[in-house]
A = this chain, B = another copy of it.
Amino acid sequence: MPQGFFGKYHSIILYGLSLGALLVLMKWLEWRFIIIDYAFEIYAGLIALLFTGLGIWLALKLAQPKTITIEKQVLVANTEFVFDENCLNQLGMSRRELEVLQLMADGLSNQQIAEKLFVSLNTIKTHSSKVFEKLEVQRRTQAVEKAKRLSLIP
Protein backbone atom coordinates (compact mmCIF):
# COMPACT_ATOMS: atom_id res chain seq x y z
CA MET A 1 0.00 0.00 0.00
CA PRO A 2 2.81 2.59 0.70
CA GLN A 3 3.72 3.34 -2.88
CA GLY A 4 0.28 2.47 -4.10
CA PHE A 5 -1.14 5.08 -1.82
CA PHE A 6 0.56 7.98 -3.57
CA GLY A 7 -0.27 6.49 -6.91
CA LYS A 8 -3.92 6.21 -6.14
CA TYR A 9 -4.47 9.39 -4.23
CA HIS A 10 -1.90 11.72 -5.75
CA SER A 11 -4.66 14.03 -6.91
CA ILE A 12 -5.85 14.54 -3.38
CA ILE A 13 -2.36 14.84 -2.01
CA LEU A 14 -1.40 17.39 -4.61
CA TYR A 15 -4.57 19.23 -3.88
CA GLY A 16 -3.74 19.30 -0.23
CA LEU A 17 -0.21 20.42 -0.83
CA SER A 18 -1.20 23.15 -3.22
CA LEU A 19 -3.88 24.39 -0.87
CA GLY A 20 -1.37 24.39 1.94
CA ALA A 21 1.12 26.23 -0.21
CA LEU A 22 -1.54 28.73 -1.11
CA LEU A 23 -2.40 29.32 2.51
CA VAL A 24 1.24 29.77 3.40
CA LEU A 25 1.59 32.16 0.56
CA MET A 26 -1.42 34.10 1.69
CA LYS A 27 -0.21 34.17 5.26
CA TRP A 28 3.08 35.41 4.10
CA LEU A 29 1.43 38.06 2.04
CA GLU A 30 -0.74 38.94 4.95
CA TRP A 31 2.21 39.30 7.24
CA ARG A 32 4.08 41.18 4.68
CA PHE A 33 1.52 43.64 3.56
CA ILE A 34 -1.70 43.21 5.33
CA ILE A 35 -2.93 43.43 8.80
CA ILE A 36 -3.87 40.13 10.29
CA ASP A 37 -7.53 40.45 9.68
CA TYR A 38 -8.14 37.13 8.15
CA ALA A 39 -6.44 35.03 10.75
CA PHE A 40 -9.65 33.18 11.43
CA GLU A 41 -10.20 32.20 7.86
CA ILE A 42 -6.69 30.94 7.60
CA TYR A 43 -6.99 28.89 10.72
CA ALA A 44 -10.33 27.58 9.57
CA GLY A 45 -8.79 26.60 6.26
CA LEU A 46 -5.92 24.87 7.97
CA ILE A 47 -8.26 23.01 10.28
CA ALA A 48 -10.48 22.05 7.40
CA LEU A 49 -7.48 20.78 5.50
CA LEU A 50 -6.14 18.88 8.45
CA PHE A 51 -9.39 17.19 9.30
CA THR A 52 -10.19 16.44 5.74
CA GLY A 53 -6.91 14.60 5.67
CA LEU A 54 -7.80 12.94 8.93
CA GLY A 55 -11.13 11.84 7.52
CA ILE A 56 -9.49 10.45 4.45
CA TRP A 57 -6.93 8.66 6.54
CA LEU A 58 -9.62 7.28 8.81
CA ALA A 59 -11.70 6.08 5.94
CA LEU A 60 -8.78 4.39 4.28
CA LYS A 61 -7.64 2.78 7.48
CA LEU A 62 -10.98 1.65 8.74
CA ALA A 63 -12.65 0.75 5.51
CA GLN A 64 -13.11 -2.95 5.51
CA PRO A 65 -11.50 -4.31 2.44
CA LYS A 66 -13.70 -5.82 -0.17
CA THR A 67 -12.67 -9.32 -0.87
CA ILE A 68 -12.63 -10.35 -4.44
CA THR A 69 -12.42 -14.03 -4.96
CA ILE A 70 -10.74 -14.94 -8.17
CA GLU A 71 -11.27 -18.50 -9.13
CA LYS A 72 -7.98 -19.67 -10.41
CA GLN A 73 -8.21 -22.84 -12.37
CA VAL A 74 -5.56 -25.26 -11.36
CA LEU A 75 -4.89 -28.44 -13.14
CA VAL A 76 -4.42 -31.04 -10.53
CA ALA A 77 -3.34 -34.48 -11.47
CA ASN A 78 -5.17 -36.30 -8.78
CA THR A 79 -7.48 -34.24 -6.67
CA GLU A 80 -8.77 -35.11 -3.31
CA PHE A 81 -11.86 -37.08 -4.04
CA VAL A 82 -15.02 -35.71 -2.49
CA PHE A 83 -17.81 -38.17 -2.46
CA ASP A 84 -21.05 -36.76 -3.80
CA GLU A 85 -23.64 -38.15 -1.44
CA ASN A 86 -26.33 -35.93 -2.92
CA CYS A 87 -25.90 -37.55 -6.26
CA LEU A 88 -25.98 -40.93 -4.62
CA ASN A 89 -29.31 -40.26 -2.97
CA GLN A 90 -30.64 -38.67 -6.10
CA LEU A 91 -29.94 -41.85 -8.01
CA GLY A 92 -31.40 -43.97 -5.23
CA MET A 93 -28.23 -45.97 -4.98
CA SER A 94 -27.81 -48.06 -1.86
CA ARG A 95 -24.62 -48.55 0.14
CA ARG A 96 -24.19 -52.07 -1.02
CA GLU A 97 -24.68 -51.16 -4.62
CA LEU A 98 -22.09 -48.44 -4.31
CA GLU A 99 -19.72 -50.93 -2.73
CA VAL A 100 -20.15 -53.28 -5.64
CA LEU A 101 -19.67 -50.38 -8.03
CA GLN A 102 -16.40 -49.46 -6.38
CA LEU A 103 -15.07 -52.98 -6.62
CA MET A 104 -16.23 -53.14 -10.21
CA ALA A 105 -14.18 -50.02 -10.85
CA ASP A 106 -11.16 -51.77 -9.42
CA GLY A 107 -11.45 -54.26 -12.23
CA LEU A 108 -12.71 -57.14 -10.16
CA SER A 109 -14.92 -59.78 -11.70
CA ASN A 110 -18.32 -60.48 -10.23
CA GLN A 111 -16.94 -63.67 -8.76
CA GLN A 112 -14.10 -61.82 -7.04
CA ILE A 113 -16.49 -59.21 -5.72
CA ALA A 114 -18.72 -61.96 -4.37
CA GLU A 115 -15.79 -63.55 -2.56
CA LYS A 116 -14.63 -60.24 -1.21
CA LEU A 117 -18.04 -59.40 0.19
CA PHE A 118 -18.78 -62.96 1.35
CA VAL A 119 -21.94 -63.22 -0.68
CA SER A 120 -22.95 -65.31 -3.64
CA LEU A 121 -22.25 -64.56 -7.26
CA ASN A 122 -25.94 -64.19 -7.91
CA THR A 123 -26.20 -61.49 -5.30
CA ILE A 124 -23.50 -59.51 -7.03
CA LYS A 125 -25.26 -59.97 -10.32
CA THR A 126 -28.42 -58.60 -8.81
CA HIS A 127 -26.57 -55.63 -7.35
CA SER A 128 -24.73 -54.87 -10.54
CA SER A 129 -27.91 -55.06 -12.56
CA LYS A 130 -29.53 -52.53 -10.26
CA VAL A 131 -26.48 -50.33 -10.49
CA PHE A 132 -26.69 -50.42 -14.28
CA GLU A 133 -30.36 -49.55 -14.11
CA LYS A 134 -29.79 -46.61 -11.82
CA LEU A 135 -26.86 -45.33 -13.80
CA GLU A 136 -28.73 -45.99 -17.00
CA VAL A 137 -25.94 -47.98 -18.57
CA GLN A 138 -25.63 -51.45 -20.03
CA ARG A 139 -22.09 -52.48 -19.24
CA ARG A 140 -19.80 -52.27 -16.27
CA THR A 141 -17.24 -50.26 -18.14
CA GLN A 142 -19.88 -47.64 -18.82
CA ALA A 143 -20.98 -47.78 -15.20
CA VAL A 144 -17.45 -47.14 -13.99
CA GLU A 145 -16.97 -44.31 -16.43
CA LYS A 146 -20.23 -42.65 -15.46
CA ALA A 147 -19.71 -43.17 -11.75
CA LYS A 148 -16.38 -41.42 -11.99
CA ARG A 149 -17.94 -38.53 -13.83
CA LEU A 150 -20.57 -38.25 -11.11
CA SER A 151 -17.94 -38.38 -8.37
CA LEU A 152 -19.45 -41.48 -6.90
CA ILE A 153 -16.06 -43.13 -6.98
CA PRO A 154 -12.51 -41.70 -7.20
A124 to chain B, nearest CB (A): 14
List of B residues within 8 angstroms of A64 by Cβ: 8
Is B67's CB under 8 angstroms from A65's CB?
Answer: yes
Classify the interface of chain A: helix, strand, loop or mixed. Answer: helix
Give the distance in Å from the alpha carbon of A10 to the alpha carbon of B57 in the complex: 17
**Quick check: is A94 within 8 A (CB to CB) of the other chain?**
no
**Quick check: is A45 within 8 A (CB to CB) of the other chain?**
yes
Give the distance in Å from the alpha carbon of A56 to the alpha carbon of B55 in the complex: 4
List of B residues within 8 angstroms of A54 by Cβ: 52, 55
Is B47's CB under 8 angstroms from A44's CB?
Answer: yes
List of B residues within 8 angstroms of A52 by Cβ: 15, 51-52, 54-55, 58
Can you list 22 A-B pairs with a CB-CB distance of less than 8 A? A12-B62, A15-B15, A22-B44, A22-B48, A23-B44, A23-B45, A48-B51, A55-B55, A55-B58, A59-B60, A59-B63, A63-B65, A68-B70, A69-B69, A70-B72, A71-B72, A74-B74, A75-B76, A75-B79, A76-B76, A106-B145, A141-B144
- A: residues with CB less than 8 A from B are 8-9, 11-12, 15-16, 19, 22-23, 26-27, 40-41, 43-45, 47-60, 62-80, 104-109, 137-146
